[in-house]
Amino acid sequence: MKKALLLETSSALGGLALVKYKMPLGAAENLTFREWRRENSHSEVVTPYTRQALEKAQWKISDIDCFAVGVGPGSFTGIRVALNMIRTFAYSADKPVFCFNSLRALALSTSHQDLPILALTNA
In DSSP terms, which residues pair with 18 in a beta bridge? 5, 32
Contacts of 47 (CB under 8 A, 6+ apart): 85
Model confidence band, residue 123 (pLDDT cutoffs 50, 70, 90): low
The superfamily CATH assigns to domain 2-108 is ATPase, nucleotide binding domain (3.30.420.40)
- pLDDT, tens digit (0-9, with 9 covering 90-100), for 48-106: 999 999 999 999 999 999 999 999 998 899 999 999 999 999 999 999 999 999 988 88
Task: Please tell me the distance from the alpha carbon of residue 98 to that of residue 100, in angstroms, as a whole number.
Answer: 7
Which pLDDT tens digit goes with each residue over 5-52? 999 999 999 999 999 988 776 677 778 889 999 877 899 999 999 999
Alpha carbon 65 to its chain centroid, in Å, reads: 14
Per-domain boundaries in the chain: 2-108
Whole-prediction pTM: 0.86
pLDDT value at position 38? Answer: 84
